Amino acid sequence: MRKIVATVLAALAMGSAVAVPASAAPTGVNSQCGKYICVMTAHHNRFVQDITVRTTDGLPGTLRSYWGNYHSPKVNAASHRWEVGYEQAGSKLVCGGLERDGRSIEDGVCVTI
């Protein structure tokens, strides 16, 4: 888990150093794992800078994330990162889900922001 958090932090440092002013630097990198997926997010207050969802077993599936009225497109992968750059007042959770063969394997694995 530390390796994943370090990877997310490194990606944020490289990708957001130019795009995000110092006052909007991430104040939190949080993660939560279920049985089949892990959801990770980097955020500054309610300003979500990215969401990463990955399978714990490394097998591909249809991944997605959602947060307030944000719903990511579905992608077929074992891991995917969505750049959000979006603030939503009142939203406290970033969640992810996994489908395989048209069935919901796991949904509602959420990170508190």
Element (H, E) at 5: helix 2-16
- Which pLDDT belongs to residue 89? 86
Of 109 and 6, the structure prediction assigns the larger pLDDT to: 109
With 60 as the cut, is the pLDDT of residue 44 above it? yes
Taking the model in full, what pTM does it have? Answer: 0.75
Structure tokens at 16: 């957001």
Give the pLDDT confidence score for residue 28 in this predicted structure.
Answer: 84
Per-residue pLDDT of 49-99, as tens digits, reads 999 999 999 999 999 999 998 999 999 999 999 999 988 888 899 999 999
Domain count, the chain: 1
Q: Residue 61 belongs to what domain range?
A: 2-112
Any idea what the CATH number is for the domain that residue 11 is in? 2.60.40
pLDDT at 9: 44
CA dist 86 and 92 (Å) reads 13
Q: State the chain's mean pLDDT as an integer.
A: 83
